[in-house]
């Protein structure tokens, strides 16, 4: 690391922190402004925030590492993302917009009961509290690799800086820092790719030929094995549910949908955001393939025997010139901090609205609830620190997040599907279905070798189908037509 690299990193940290403090324009005085930016955020900024939230440092360093150590087959599980976004924009968004919700689980509270709202929200909080560990882990690995300081100190530095501006500025700080951070981590990989190609013997064409000769350009695996880590059938049959769950029922993204002035603006943000995420994921995977080809031309450019999560960082730190190393670390920080701030903001929002204010409302004033929202952000930040210390025991930063999230994401998506499409479904049916769904995934994890890529599909189906059957046997008498899909069809 050179002085220039440290200057670049310091400029990023100071700059983004300043933006986070001043993005709201004035001191927050309303809960709506703090949580959803008074529903006045331009849709393009919302789309940039969605991209920044969806593409974390675990993507920036994890995807090149996966492609480097394997091939492009991981692209299969991301190609279905636009379908999940389309479902979110056309089926789920109209419900959220019409009800003018802040928390996604408010829909379940109105459709089923306040207890169901809290139950689903707690599932989300539990999942996100541990998945967020992978978000913190990735940039902390980069910092540790680059500077030599311990992983634990790296986690504390990253988390402390992010909690600071997220707590102070709320949603506006999160979104406008996301815009800047998105620009940084989108441009930096392109610059690094251009440098690799420009310094390679024979240019891009030669690198692609080398990658092809080593089988690195393989994208699709059409085998029917359930134990193969990722196949085409697993991608379209199960990873679709993973993306649909994240796009449709995950508070981290839905809270950004609600910041737009209108449903049309939210829809544009969703679709543009999903397209941007897919393009960046493709870029990161391609970067790993090109890096592998470069390593064949220049043996030793990447040290042998590295964990996939450390490959890209090791190459940058050993082979990139001064300044570009600092840009890479800044990009890693940007990707991690943008996702982390969004998660912390969302977790504090649902804890406040779906638990505290819903069941223990003491009729306190707006400023008191605002202070409580900030306090919850700090609390979740502290809890997330522990998650970051244990998460890497469960695999790479990419696969660890999916393994953690699939069990609950599938159950949550199944609950929402029951609420929207099965008018006979009641609270007991949805809760029983979700318990069966989560137990089914847990049993598959423990008692079989079925790949993690199938977990979310299993969880969704095993929540929805038992819930549906129970609803048919003992239908709920409650009139929920106004909260079902039939009213959406009629309104269109």
Contact 175, 22 (CB under 8 A): no
> 401 pLDDT exceeds 60?
no
Q: What is the mean pLDDT of residues 214-220?
A: 91
Confidence of residue 391 (pLDDT cuts 50, 70, 90): low
- Alpha-carbon span 351 to 1, nearest angstrom: 41
Confidence of residue 257 (pLDDT cuts 50, 70, 90): very high
- Alpha-carbon span 239 to 235, nearest angstrom: 5
Average pLDDT, the chain: 86
How high is the pLDDT of residue 44? 93
> 219 pLDDT exceeds 70?
yes
How high is the pLDDT of residue 2? 76
Write the CA distances from 78 to 84, 93, 304, 457, integer angstroms.
10, 22, 28, 15
Write the CA distances from 239 to 59, 77, 145, 228, 298, integer angstroms.
16, 6, 32, 14, 36
Q: What is the pLDDT of residues 426-467, one digit of tens each?
A: 999 999 999 999 999 999 988 999 998 899 999 999 999 999
**pTM of the full predicted structure?**
0.88
How high is the pLDDT of residue 362? 85
Q: What is the pLDDT of residues 148-175, one digit of tens each?
A: 778 888 888 888 888 888 888 888 888 9
Confidence of residue 307 (pLDDT cuts 50, 70, 90): confident
What does the block give as tokens for 366? 């707006």
- The SS3 assignment for 302 reads coil
Query: What residue has token string 């979700």?
Result: 434
> 392 pLDDT exceeds 90?
no
How high is the pLDDT of residue 25? 57
How high is the pLDDT of residue 299? 80
Q: What is the pLDDT of residues 404-430, one digit of tens each?
A: 678 899 999 999 999 999 999 999 999
| 273: number of Cβ within 10 Å | 26
Contact 35, 102 (CB under 8 A): yes
Q: What is the pLDDT of residues 77-115, one digit of tens each?
A: 889 999 999 999 999 998 898 889 999 999 999 999 999
Q: What is the mean pLDDT of residues 120-147?
A: 80
Tell me the Ramachandran region of residue 202: left when phi exceeds 0, alpha when psi lies from -120 to 50, beta otherwise: left
User: CA dihedral defined by 395, 292, 139, 242, rounded to 10 degrees?
Assistant: -50
What does the block give as tokens for 276? 């941007």
> 144 pLDDT exceeds 80?
no
* End-to-end Cα, the chain, rounded Å: 59
Q: What is the pLDDT of residues 338-355, one digit of tens each?
A: 888 888 899 999 999 999
User: Domains in the chain, please, with CATH?
Assistant: 3-394 (1.20.1730.10)
- Alpha-carbon span 261 to 43, nearest angstrom: 8
Q: What is the pLDDT of residues 31-82, one digit of tens each?
A: 888 888 888 889 999 999 999 888 877 778 778 888 888 889 889 988 999 9
Query: What residue has token string 């379940």?
Result: 108
User: Which of 35, 86, 121 lies closest to 112, judged by CA?
Assistant: 121
- Alpha-carbon span 118 to 106, nearest angstrom: 9
> 285 pLDDT exceeds 70?
yes
- Alpha-carbon span 63 to 66, nearest angstrom: 5
Percent of the chain with pLDDT over 90: 39
Tell me the helix, strand and coil percentages in the chain, rounded to 5: 80, 0, 20
Q: What is the mean pLDDT of residues 196-201?
A: 84
How high is the pLDDT of residue 28? 63
| E strands present in 399-483 | none
Q: What is the pLDDT of residues 263-283, one digit of tens each?
A: 999 999 999 999 999 999 999
How high is the pLDDT of residue 400? 53
């Amino acid at each position: 690391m050179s002085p220039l690299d440290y200057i670049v990193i310091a400029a990023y940290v100071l700059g983004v922190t300043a933006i986070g403090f001043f993005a709201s324009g004035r001191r927050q005085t309303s809960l709506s402004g703090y949580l959803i930016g008074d529903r006045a955020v331009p849709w393009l900024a919302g789309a940039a925030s969605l991209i920044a939230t969806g593409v974390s440092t675990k993507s920036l360093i994890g995807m090149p590492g996966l492609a480097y150590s394997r091939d492009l087959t991981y692209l299969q599980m991301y190609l279905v993302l636009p379908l999940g976004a389309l479902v979110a924009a056309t089926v789920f968004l109209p419900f959220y917009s019409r009800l003018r919700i802040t928390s996604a689980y408010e829909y379940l509270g109105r459709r089923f009961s306040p207890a169901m709202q809290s139950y689903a929200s707690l599932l989300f909080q539990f999942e996100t509290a541990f998945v967020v560990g992978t978000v913190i882990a990735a940039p902390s690995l980069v910092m540790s690799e680059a500077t030599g300081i311990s992983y634990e100190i790296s986690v504390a530095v990253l988390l402390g800086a992010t909690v600071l501006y997220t707590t102070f500025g709320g949603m506006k700080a999160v979104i406008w820092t996301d815009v800047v951070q998105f620009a940084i981590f989108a441009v930096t990989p392109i610059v690094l790719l251009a440098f690799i190609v420009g310094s390679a013997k024979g240019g891009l064409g030669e690198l692609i030929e080398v990658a092809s000769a080593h089988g690195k350009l393989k994208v699709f695996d059409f085998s029917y094995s359930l134990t193969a880590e990722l196949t085409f059938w697993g991608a379209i049959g199960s990873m679709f549910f993973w993306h649909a769950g994240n796009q449709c029922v995950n508070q981290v993204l839905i809270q950004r949908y609600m910041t737009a002035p209108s449903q049309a603006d939210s829809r544009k943000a969703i679709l543009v955001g999903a397209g941007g995420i897919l393009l960046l994921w493709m870029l990161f995977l391609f970067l790993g393939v090109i890096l592998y080809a470069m390593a064949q031309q220049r043996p030793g450019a990447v040290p042998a025997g590295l964990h996939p999560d450390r490959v890209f960082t090791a190459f940058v730190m050993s082979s990139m010139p001064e300044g570009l190393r600092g840009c890479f670390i800044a990009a890693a920080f940007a990707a991690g901090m943008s996702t982390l701030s969004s998660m912390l903001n969302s977790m504090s929002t649902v804890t406040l609205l779906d638990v505290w204010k819903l069941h223990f409302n003491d009729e306190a004033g707006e400023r008191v609830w605002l202070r409580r929202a900030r306090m919850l952000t700090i609390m979740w930040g502290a809890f997330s620190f522990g998650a970051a210390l244990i998460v890497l025991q469960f695999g790479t930063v990419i696969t660890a997040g999916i393994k953690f999230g699939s069990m609950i994401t599938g159950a949550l998506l199944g609950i929402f599907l029951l609420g929207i499409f099965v008018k006979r479904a009641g609270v007991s049916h949805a809760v029983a279905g979700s318990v069966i769904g989560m137990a089914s995934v847990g049993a598959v994890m423990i008692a079989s070798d079925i790949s993690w890529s199938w977990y979310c599909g299993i969880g969704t189906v095993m929540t929805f189908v038992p819930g549906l059957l129970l609803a048919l046997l003992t239908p709920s008498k409650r009139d929920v037509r106004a909260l079902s899909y039939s009213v959406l069809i009629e309104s269109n």
